[in-house]
Structure 1
Amino acid sequence: MNKGWVLPVFVIVMLAVAFATSSSALEIAATTTGLLSVWLTARENIWAWPVGLANVACFFCMFEDAKLYADMTLQVFFFALSLYGWAVWLTGRGTAKVRPTRSLAPKRAALLGVLLVAVTLLWGFVLEAYTDASIPYADALIATLSLIAQYLLSSKVLQNWLCWIAVDALSIGMYAYKELYSLAFLYVVFLAIAVAGHLSWKRAYDAGPKEVPA
């Protein structure tokens, strides 16, 4: 993750895909800021949060156009969680640049698993019954899992990357189905960064001081 040439190469390839698929300016802005935000997050760089806020605004507008209403609503929560994460990463850090990584307690993991199932079913039902959502239950599952992943990321919890890996894999299929090809490609890149981010954070967690599990 420390190779400086990797990010520019990703951006160039993404822009090439975006232009080749006639992506809109909004889609290009969303994919570029999204890539930069995830890249900075994997490197535990505090600038990930302001870039992420810009990305949230782009995705909100784009999902509205695509009628992916769960994902559109999700951006509101992402905005609040990004502000929360920005604050959390800057507290309890001592002399470090950001707060040390924590692990997820088993009881909290079980609770989040129950919430994932319950919220997905409820949200999917509402989308199917009251909106013209394209793929309501898949949309709701990805949105709910993304919300959990973002909460764990904002709380500086290691297992956030495992949730993002699942989100990225599911999103590749959904965006390809919706013919948002530059977004589908973006999530292929996100998947690679999420795997690298998990490995990087895990090494730092194993080598560093252990905080109380979240």
Structure 2
Amino acid sequence: MNKPWVLPALFAIMVGIAYYTSSSALEIAATTTGLLSVWLTARERIWAWPIGLVNVACFFYMFEDAKLYADMMLQVFFFVLSVYGWIAWLNGRGAAKVRPTRTITVRLSWTLALLLVAVTLLWGYVLEQYTGASIPYADALIATLSLIAQYLLSSKILQNWLCWIAVDVMSIVMYAYKDLHSLAFLYTIFLAIAIAGHLSWQREYRSLKGGVPV
């Protein structure tokens, strides 16, 4: 992931996929800004946040067209969490560029697990009953887990990557089903970056003496 040629190569592949699948300009903008944002996040660069805000706006309009309403609403929360993450990463950093990585507590793990189940069921029911969502409960599950992952990421908590890995796997299947092929391929790349990000953040956390759980 630290090789200088990797990111340009990924962008070239994404453009090729977008051309082959006749993707819209909006979809191309969403995929490229998303790729850059996730890449910078894994490398713990603060520029991940402003680029991520552009990505959120692109995804909002794209999901509206695809009738993935949970994902569309998700972008509003992502916007708020991205602003929070931008601020949080700059606070408590000392002499470092961003704040140090922390790990999750058992209490927070259980709280988030219960929220995942409750919010997914409620959100899925609302989508099924009151919208034209094509796959309401799967859409709601991915959306809810994405919110949890984003909260953990914004809080600089190591386990965010494990949540993103699960989100990426489910998203690949969902976007392929919805014929959003460039997005499905993008999430395949996201999956690889999430795995690399987890390993990198884990090494950093272990190298810090006295890492404090949240």
- TM-score bracket, normalised by the shorter chain, equals over 0.9
Q: What percentage of aligned pairs have identical amino acids?
A: 75
Q: CA deviation at 1:58?
A: 0.1
Spell out the pairing of 1:115-154 with structure 2 (5 A cutoff): 115-154=115-154
Do 2:205 and 2:211's aligned partners in 1 also have CA atoms closer than 8 Å? no
**Structure 1 residue matching 2:92: 3-state secondary structure:** coil
Aligned residues: 214
1:186 counterpart letter in structure 2 = L
Do 2:149 and 2:161's aligned partners in 1 also have CA atoms closer than 8 Å? yes
Equivalent residue number for residue 5 of structure 1: 5
Per-residue CA deviations over 1:86-120 (Å, capped at 9, x if unaligned) read: 00000001100000000000110011000000000
Equivalent residue number for residue 205 of structure 2: 205
Give me the CA root mean square deviation: 0.6
Do 1:102 and 1:210's aligned partners in 2 also have CA atoms closer than 8 Å? no
2:152 counterpart letter in structure 1 = L
Structure 1 moving runs of 4+ over 3 Å: none
TM-score under structure 1 normalisation? 0.99
Q: CA deviation at 1:212?
A: 2.8
Equivalent residue number for residue 106 of structure 1: 106
Per-residue CA deviations over 1:97-148 (Å, capped at 9, x if unaligned) read: 0000000001100110000000000000000000000100000000000000
**Stretches of structure 1 lacking an aligned partner (at least 5 in a row):** none
Equivalent residue number for residue 33 of structure 1: 33
Equivalent residue number for residue 184 of structure 1: 184
TM-score under structure 2 normalisation? 0.99
**Structure 2 residue matching 1:173: 3-state secondary structure:** helix
Question: In the aligned structure 1, how far is the partner of 2:209 from the partner of 2:184?
Answer: 37
1:46 counterpart letter in structure 2 = I
Equivalent residue number for residue 46 of structure 1: 46
Per-residue CA deviations over 1:157-208 (Å, capped at 9, x if unaligned) read: 0000000000000000000000000000000000000000000000000001
Question: In the aligned structure 1, how far is the partner of 2:142 from the partner of 2:136?
Answer: 10
